[in-house]
Structures are given as C-alpha cells and as structure tokens.
C-alpha cells in the first residue's frame, strides 16, 4: 500500500491552452527528469510521439496479420468452393476466376484488418469498457491540452507548478485520485468477461427470437420489395411462351444419338412398341446392393416427385397439386408388366402425361430404376382392392 501512497503524492496534471505549449512543457519536464505519463489532446498533435519518447506503435503488425488472415480466408473460401468443392461453370468463366474473387477478398481483408486492429488496440492498451470513466481534468473533453506526469525524486511539486505556469499552464495540481485504483465503486470498475456477456444478453435474446419471428420477416420482405415477391420472370411449372407445346423440357429431335456412346434403341414411342419391348427386352443387370443403391438414388431424385417415394403416389407433388394421379407403381397391373415394358416407359414416357427420360438418364440407370421398382413392389403391402385408377397406363 505504501507504494500506492507514493504514487498518489507524486503524480500531477497540468492543462495548456494550445498544443505548442504542451509540446514545450513535455520536452521541459522530460529534460528535468520527470516522467511524462501521457498527454490528452482534442486532436493528434504532430511530434507528440517523439516528444514523449514513445516507440513506434506495434499495432500496424497486428493490422497486417489480420489483413493477411482476411485475405487468406476470403481467397481460400472462394477458391475452395468455386474451384474444388463445387466446381460449377458460371458465365463461361474459368473455375479459378481470380478477378471475380478480388472484391470479396478486398472487403474481407479490410474488414478483418479494421476490426482486428481495434480489438488489438483494446487488448494491448488493457482497456475494457466501464460505466464511468474517471475525468483526468474537466477540460479533457473540451479544448484543453493536458499532460499527466510523475515527479522526479526529491522534487517538490510547488516548484514544478511554478515552472509549468511560466511555460503557459492554465492550471496544475497533484493528482489525489489514483485513476488506476481497483477498489472503486461498481461503476468505476472495468467490466469483466461476465459483465461483457451480460451486456450482450439483449442481442442474444433478439437472436433467439429470430426463428420465432422468421415468418413475419419474410412477409415484410415481400411487402418492402414487391419486385422480388412477384418477378416478371418465368416461374417453375409455367408453360413456356416460346417452346412448342408450351413444354420447357423438349424431347430431343429424332435420330439424336446418346453422347454416352449407347447404340440407338430399336424401338419407338407408343403403346404397341411398349408391349413389343416387354416381349423382346430383358433386364441385362442382376440385382446387387450397388445397383439397388443407384436405382434408389435415381428413383428418389427423378421418379419419386410424381410417383411417391414408395411408388404408391404417397407424397406425390402432382397429386398434391390436384393435377392428376400417376400410375401406382406398386399396383398389381404394373407388377405384372415385364421389365422391358417398364424400361420402355422410363425411356419414351407414358401414353398420357409422363415424360420420357431416355434423354436424361443413362440406359444403365433406367434399368436400375426398373430393378428398384421391383424391390418397391416386393416391399409394398398387397393392395387390398384393385379400386385404383389402374386404367391409366404407365
């Protein structure tokens, strides 16, 4: 405690009306052996760092490090997502399209450098938020230029005060209150981690409310910008205004060959051809676990949307939209159809609504889907009554 008592008696402050006098006073005090702790000025004073004998700040290094981190993060994320993990050609540009990455990389570099250097500053200066900041001098927040210093040994303050007055000081006094005291009132103490978390509590609560209010937010978004809610562009399932038949997915022109090198099928569309396929074609693949998995994948991506995941129209989008009921794949009628006929339907489409997938799925995938449908039929409970709309052909 005695050392603190000593500090109390040895620290003093002085205020000046202009920066030149403050600079002179700092130089004078340091020359006389006093230790100038810091100065408080309304604006940065040129030459003050040198006058105080301060070493150049090390903050720029922290700034550079954070900038490099931001650059590395932005460049890494963009390169990884665009060129490695999810390579998708955009606008005919190369996957590793460096110019397109620059804006984001720049922004993140600047953002992290800015936030990081401020955070580093607080850490390096050991500054923490507190509710009340002790005033060094009433003019510190106004137009005064103030210094805080520690007396050299064996020097009495009145003598220094006289010198300071000669240098233009408006006032000077010993500091009776130690502003680094730790046993002050609650609002004078710097905040601890717990306090900081407590201060953030309202923000956390707001965040927790977001899912609850989410629906409302979406509605508001639409109200704010009607253009986003009701765009002029074509919607999914809209009839095409330009393509023949209003169909977006057009069948390939006749005699189109597969790019996979598969020889053309010796069949055409239509029910008679479907029946011929049922007679003439055999599934070239035997059911294995791998083929089951692949067939399941393709079925659930392509077929399940309309036929339902179990092949029973349950969960069918088309049925849900009230358009029409697709053929129930686990019905006895389909169960009795030969593999070749199912393959023909998968390739050329059904007699009424279903689109052919010969141009979208490989031949092997279509046969594997047939295998998978057979597994679905095995797994399905026998349909109680043939009251289903089995008149609709696959």
Partner 1 sequence: MSEIFTVPARDLTKSGIPTLADIGERLRGGAWAFVILGALCLGLGLVLQAERGWGNLLLTAFNLACVGLGGLFLLAIQSITGARWSDPILKAHRAMPALLPVAGALMLLLAFGATTLYPWARPDAASHEALHGRLGWLNPPFFFVRVALIFAAWIWVGRRLTHQGKGAAPFILVFGLTFSLANFDWLMSLEPVWSSTILAIYGFSGMFLQGIAIVTISAIVLRRVGLLPAVSKAQNHDLGKLLFAFSCFWAYIFLSQFLLIWYANLPEETGPMRLLLQGRWMPLFYLNLILNFGLPFVLLLQRRAKTNEAVLLATCTLLLAGRWLDLYLQIMPPVLHGLGPVFGPAELGGILLQLGLGHLACWPVFMKDANPAQELPQAG
Run of H or E residues at 207: helix 193-224
Q: Is residue 50 a contact point for partner 1 (CB under 8 A)?
A: yes
Between 19 and 350, name the residue whose CB sits nearer to partner 1.
19
Relative to beta strand 171-174, strand 11-16 is: antiparallel
Q: Is residue 56 a contact point for partner 1 (CB under 8 A)?
A: yes
Q: Is residue 241 a contact point for partner 1 (CB under 8 A)?
A: no
Between 44 and 231, name the residue whose CB sits nearer to partner 1.
44
Q: Is residue 226 a contact point for partner 1 (CB under 8 A)?
A: no
Candidate segments 42-50, 69-77, 170-178, 302-310, binder of partner 1 by CB under 8 A: 42-50
Between 50 and 300, name the residue whose CB sits nearer to partner 1.
50
Cα–Cα distances in angstroms (integers) from residue 233 to residues 227, 228, 244, in the given order: 11, 10, 19
Any idea which residue has 């707001």 for tokens? 206
First to last CA, the chain: 94
Between 102 and 206, name the residue whose CB sits nearer to partner 1.
102
Instruction: Identify the CA nearest to 18 among candidates 136, 146, 115, 155.
Output: 146
Cα–Cα distances in angstroms (integers) from residue 147 to residues 29, 114, 167, 392, in the given order: 10, 29, 13, 94
Q: Is residue 64 a contact point for partner 1 (CB under 8 A)?
A: yes
* Token output for 360: 């979208």
- State the nearest-atom distance from the C-beta of 102 to partner 1, in Å: 6
Between 98 and 248, name the residue whose CB sits nearer to partner 1.
98
Beta bridge partners of 130: 190
Candidate segments 20-28, 181-189, 270-278, 283-291, binder of partner 1 by CB under 8 A: 20-28
Stretch 69-128 residues interacting with partner 1 (CB under 8 A): 91-93, 99-100, 102-103
Rounded to an integer, what distance in angstroms lies between the CA atom of residue 338 and that of residue 374? Answer: 10
Which of 51, 112, 167, 345 binds partner 1 (CB under 8 A)? It is 51
Cβ neighbours for 138, distance < 8 A, ≥ 6 positions apart: none
Rounded to an integer, what distance in angstroms lies between the CA atom of residue 25 and that of residue 18? Answer: 11
Candidate segments 23-31, 235-243, 314-322, 352-360, binder of partner 1 by CB under 8 A: 23-31
Residues of this chain that interact with partner 1 (CB under 8 A) are 19-20, 23-24, 27, 45-47, 50-51, 56, 60, 64, 91-93, 99-100, 102-103
């Amino acid at each position: 405690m005695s050392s603190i008592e000593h500090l109390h008696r040895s620290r003093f402050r002085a205020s000046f009306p202009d920066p030149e006098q403050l600079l002179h006073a700092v130089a004078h005090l340091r020359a006389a052996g006093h230790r100038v702790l810091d100065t408080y000025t309304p604006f940065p004073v040129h030459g003050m760092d040198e006058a105080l004998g301060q070493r150049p700040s090390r903050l720029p290094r922290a700034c550079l490090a954070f900038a490099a981190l931001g650059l590395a993060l932005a460049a890494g994320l963009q390169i990884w997502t665009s060129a490695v993990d999810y390579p998708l050609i955009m606008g005919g540009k190369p996957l590793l399209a460096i110019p397109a990455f620059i804006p984001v990389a720049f922004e993140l570099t600047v953002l992290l450098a800015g936030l990081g250097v401020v955070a580093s500053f607080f850490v390096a200066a050991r500054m923490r938020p507190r509710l009340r900041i002790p005033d060094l001098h009433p003019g510190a927040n106004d137009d005064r230029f103030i210094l805080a210093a520690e007396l050299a040994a064996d020097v009495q303050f009145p003598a220094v005060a006289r010198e300071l007055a000669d240098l233009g000081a408006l006032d000077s006094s010993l500091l009776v209150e130690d502003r680094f005291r730790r046993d002050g009132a609650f609002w004078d103490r710097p905040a601890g981690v717990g306090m900081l978390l407590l201060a953030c509590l309202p923000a956390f609560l707001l965040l927790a409310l977001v899912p609850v209010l989410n629906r409302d937010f979406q509605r508001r978004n639409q109200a704010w910008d009607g253009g986003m809610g009701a765009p002029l562009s074509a919607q999914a399932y809209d009839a095409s205004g330009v393509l023949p038949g209003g169909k977006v997915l057009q069948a390939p022109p006749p005699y189109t060959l597969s790019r996979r090198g598969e020889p053309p099928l010796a069949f055409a569309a239509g029910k008679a051809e479907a029946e011929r396929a049922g007679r003439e074609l055999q599934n070239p693949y035997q059911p294995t676990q791998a083929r089951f998995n692949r067939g399941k994948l393709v079925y659930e991506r392509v077929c399940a949307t309309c036929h339902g995941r179990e092949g029973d129209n349950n969960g069918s989008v088309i049925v849900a939209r009230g358009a029409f009921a697709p053929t129930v794949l686990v019905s006895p009628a389909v169960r009795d159809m030969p593999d070749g006929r199912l393959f023909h339907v998968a390739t050329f489409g059904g007699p009424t609504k279903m689109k052919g997938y010969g141009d979208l799925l490989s031949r092997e995938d279509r046969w594997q889907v047939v295998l998978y449908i057979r597994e679905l039929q095995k797994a399905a409970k026998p349909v109680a009554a043939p009251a289903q709309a089995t008149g609709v052909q696959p």
